[in-house]
Amino acid sequence: MAIFRNLTIAAALLLPALAEDRQRNPDSYTWNPELSKEGPVLVTVSLQKQVAAVYRNGVRIGSCEVSSGKPGHETPTGVFHILNKDANHHSKTYGNAPMPYSERLTWDGVALHAGGLPGFPSSHGCIHIPYEFSKQLFGITHTGTTVLVTNDSPDVHVSNEHSMAFQGGESSDFSWTPEASPSGPVSLIYSKPDQKLFVVRNGITIGEGKADSGWFSKRPKGTQAFVFSGWKSDGSSSWTQVGGVKKDHAKALDEWFKLDPRFQHLLMGLLQPGTNLVVTAESVTQQTSSKPGFRVLQGVKEEQVE
């Protein structure tokens, strides 16, 4: 028994060192920014596989191991936007613990930052990433960058080009307040159960309106992310699916959204190469969806907790 106890103590003492070594190990990540040198960034995190991927203008430029929240402190899934950044952050909650290159996803303390990588979920809810990777990621993200966290597997099949048309439909109520966030990267979130399209800029909702869809409305499961690559000669738009591409979804789809014609006109004026579209089967409210496990944050500042 004494030998077993001593081995247990030794393992407990060794684990932080192993996690630190893995954090600094270049084999724990890839980084190839030359593959796409500019454009909006999208980060995807698979809690199931404990990996993250970084896309710029729809091109995958990096990936890494992660360590997410351990049992009892699970990392929430959802569509998040980076709320603020701090290269030298220290936690007020956990004894001034260093959290280098921290990128906050929620006001209650969930963030991406450099941390230990023991090979399994070990954090108090944050997403730990390799130290050198965190430095590189910190340099290309901005307030408002979209981060998609799911329990899905990462992409295993290359997605084909997808065509989407934003068409004028019946008149309906919609909101449009671009002055709430005058500039910055734009993301779209489509909620299937709500049949609503949300326009988010710098993490703040600047528009929302009713939207009927074709293929998406018939495929209620899972979360899909797409990146806008340009307009086609027929007036439709071209998109690339990133992350979570299942084999039966890898074929090209021809999708459409029908919106209030005024909303359609305003939206099309904002679309630029690199704009992200996240399609979710969750219902959206101002702060979270109807299910506690999946959040769609709208940039409403809550009381900040470190």
Whether 271 and 235 have beta carbons less than 8 Å apart is answered as: no
Distances (CA, A) of 98 to 19, 83, 86, 91, 202: 15, 19, 11, 7, 26
Whether 68 and 123 have beta carbons less than 8 Å apart is answered as: yes
Whether 62 and 137 have beta carbons less than 8 Å apart is answered as: yes
Q: What gap in Å lies between CA 100 and CA 88, rounded to an integer?
A: 5
Whether 199 and 208 have beta carbons less than 8 Å apart is answered as: yes
Least Cα distance to 286 among 141, 180, 168 occurs for: 180
Whether 149 and 49 have beta carbons less than 8 Å apart is answered as: no
Q: What gap in Å lies between CA 37 and CA 39, rounded to an integer?
A: 7
Tokens 């351990």 correspond to what residue? 70
Report which DSSP code applies to 247: G
The residues that are catalytic are 113, 126
- Strand blocks (E) in 192-283: 196-201, 204-210, 212-213, 224-231, 237-242, 254-259, 276-280
180: left (phi > 0), else alpha (psi -120 to 50), else beta? alpha
